[in-house]
C-alpha cells in the first residue's frame, strides 16, 4: 500500500475516533475547559496591560 493511502486511512480512523470521543470528553471536561479559557483570557489581558505600560 502506498504511504499516501495509508496516511489517509490513518487520518480517517483518527478523525472517527475524535468524533466519537469528543462529545464524551467535552461533557467530562466542560468545567476544566472553561477554567482553561478563563486563564488564557486573563493571561492575555495581563500581557496587553504590561505591553501598554
What are the grid coordinates assigned to 16, written together?
A: 472517527
pLDDT at 29: 65
Spell out the per-residue pLDDT of the chain, length 53, in tens. 577 777 777 777 777 776 666 666 666 666 676 677 777 888 888 888 777 76
Cα 18 to Cα 22: distance, rounded to the nearest angstrom: 5
Cα 7 to Cα 15: distance, rounded to the nearest angstrom: 12
pLDDT at 18: 66
- pTM here? 0.34
Cα 40 to Cα 53: distance, rounded to the nearest angstrom: 20
Contacts of 33 (CB under 8 A, 6+ apart): 26
pLDDT at 37: 74
Displacement of CA 23 from its chain's centroid (Å): 13
pLDDT at 46: 80
Amino acid at each position: 500500500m502506498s504511504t499516501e493511502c495509508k496516511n489517509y486511512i490513518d487520518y480517517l480512523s483518527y478523525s472517527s475516533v475524535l468524533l466519537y470521543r469528543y462529545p464524551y470528553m467535552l461533557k467530562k471536561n466542560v468545567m476544566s475547559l472553561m477554567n482553561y479559557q478563563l486563564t488564557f483570557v486573563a493571561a492575555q489581558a495581563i500581557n496587553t496591560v504590561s505591553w501598554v505600560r
